[in-house]
Amino acid sequence: MKFGTKLIHNGNEIDKHTGALSIPIYQASTYHQEDIDKPQEYDYSRSGNPTRKALEDTIALLEGGVRGFAFSSGMAATSSVLSIFSSGDHLIVCEDVYGGTYRVSTSLFNRFNIDVTFADAGNPDCIKENIRSNTKAVFLETPSNPLLKITDLKSIIKIAKEKDLLVIVDNTFMTPYLQRPIELGADIIIHSATKFLGGHSDVVAGLVVVKDEKLARRIYGIQNGFGAILGPQDSWLLLRGIKTLKVRLDYQQKNAMTLATWLEKQPQVSAVYYPGLEAHEGRDIHMSQADGAGAVLSFKTASDELARTFMKNVKMAAVAVSLGGVETIVSYPVKMSHAAMPKAEREQRGITDNLIRVSVGLEDIEDLINDFADALAV
């Protein structure tokens, strides 16, 4: 079955009780028990909910894992995954990781004596050099946020497995439509489902998929224990959004490629970062492990002031945090996604004051380019 068909026909498209072509929203906190000596599948919605389970089963199928878990946000998902580690453990995290992940790694989990080393995941040898006797996992994003840096998943997974390390991949930018790291040997996949999976800027959610039952038990223990679960209303919104993932991303990718190519030719733009461009570093590696370039790009203006001017004058795109909606969203990483990262570390990673991230939407591309041209010309 092709992936686009799986989005529609995955075993969770029809309500088994009524035949409805939409899974019901089970707005319930607790469930009547017919026999106290025979526990039912559902007893309390922190532990399980039918609408949430349909979503969890769907994302597990799409990612190729054994079980999925739905959380109240992408950071709830990330923090829950990091909570499987213990005091004294060491983790290697890609150096240009999402700002929220950087924040919890350096200001929360360090308090529990979980040590984190940020390493250049674009260089597999750098990962290898940072492995210690107490290293337990490698945490990756590819393409990374916001510079779209590419990680050679196969090479790093091979290095990790030689040392019996878990490999965790934040697959938010690509979604399972374009990249399925479990197929390459990864152990845990994380999504900010707020983004492309939801796709309409109307839900905050996180998803986790694991490759085996042992990991599933560990993650479920955290999900049920902490209780940072996704509610049934938001679970239903995600189930609906996922059905149109392919058609949205196909069009958004096309727009992104056109916009990136146009930006490359503008004298006010000093650099463009997009895996679809021939000159993008790591492009061949990316295309060997993914089925497309995605719909997020970043660019640097000729000056810091021009970046601020662009953000003030762009009209069609929303100026906002987040990404992956039907509308184009431009964000200013130094003040938004990576504001929690110290300036010196941001600049070392190339996240400078003239960097703008673009999540390309479903607008007519000619209108979008005209709007960008006006904003850059002011």
C-alpha to C-alpha distances, 110 to 73, 87, 104, 107, nearest whole angstrom:
21, 9, 8, 6
Give, for all 378 residues of the chain, the pLDDT tens digit: 999 999 999 999 999 999 999 999 999 999 999 999 999 999 999 999 999 999 999 999 999 999 999 999 999 999 999 999 999 999 999 998 998 999 999 999 999 999 999 999 999 999 999 999 999 999 999 999 999 999 999 999 999 999 999 999 999 999 999 999 999 999 999 999 999 999 999 999 999 999 999 999 999 999 999 999 999 999 999 999 999 999 999 999 999 999 999 999 999 999 999 999 999 999 999 999 999 999 999 999 999 999 999 999 999 999 999 999 999 999 999 988 887 788 888 888 889 999 999 999 999 999 999 999 999 996
| 195 annotated active-site | yes
Closest CA to 233 of 52, 12, 46, 18: 52
| 220 annotated active-site | no
- Given the residues 53, 89, 96, 98, select the one marked as catalytic: 98
- Given the residues 6, 46, 128, 154, select the one marked as catalytic: 46
Give me 69's structure tokens: 């878990």
Q: What is the DSSP letter of 363?
A: S
Residue 236 makes CB contacts below 8 A (sequence gap 6+) with: 22, 23, 25, 51
How far, in Å, CA of 73 to CA of 197, rounded? 13
Going by DSSP bridges, is the β-strand pair 90-94/135-141 parallel, antiparallel, or unpaired?
Answer: parallel
- Given the residues 195, 300, 346, 357, select the one marked as catalytic: 195
What is the residue whose two structure tokens read 């300036």?
343
- Given the residues 170, 187, 234, 353, select the one marked as catalytic: 170
How many Cα atoms occupy the beta-carbon half-sphere of 293 within 13 Å? 27
How far, in Å, CA of 319 to CA of 371, rounded? 13
107 exposure class (CB count in 10 Å sphere: 0-12, 13-18, 19+):
exposed
pTM for the full predicted model: 0.97
Give me 38's structure tokens: 């025979």
Q: What angle do CA 49, 52, 55 make, to 5 degrees?
A: 150
All structural domains of the chain:
3-243 (3.40.640.10), 245-377 (3.90.1150.10)
284 exposure class (CB count in 10 Å sphere: 0-12, 13-18, 19+):
exposed
